[in-house]
Structure 1
């Protein structure tokens, strides 16, 4: 099964560079780095993407 996207590195100019990565085997998306990681189920990820597309999440 093909990954929905390649791993994305989120670097904002600081030392930390969290990644966003999808695992098609477990159907989960992992966001973070080292010990700071959150794992979203596929359904949760899709809700997040939908909210971004609808403009419910803005730049901070």
Structure 2
């Protein structure tokens, strides 16, 4: 999800779908769902906790 982080899952954009994760742990979102997820992450007031696996989204 971010190029600077090795903990983030693989993200593949194909047609109108965005696939996040690997076999066995895969989420498939439509592009509008993906855009909403990105907006929510980017607009989080404090961002994820520093020890979160998603700390790469911290501003």
Same fold (TM over 0.5): yes
Larger RCO (alpha carbons 8 Å, 6+ apart): 2
TM-score normalised to the size of structure 1? 0.59
Normalized against structure 2, the TM-score is what? 0.60
Unpaired runs of 5+ residues, structure 2, are: 53-59
Q: Show structure 1 runs of 4+ deviating over 2 A.
A: 7-12, 56-60
More strand by share: 1
Taking only aligned residues, the RMSD between alpha carbons, in angstroms, comes to: 2.7
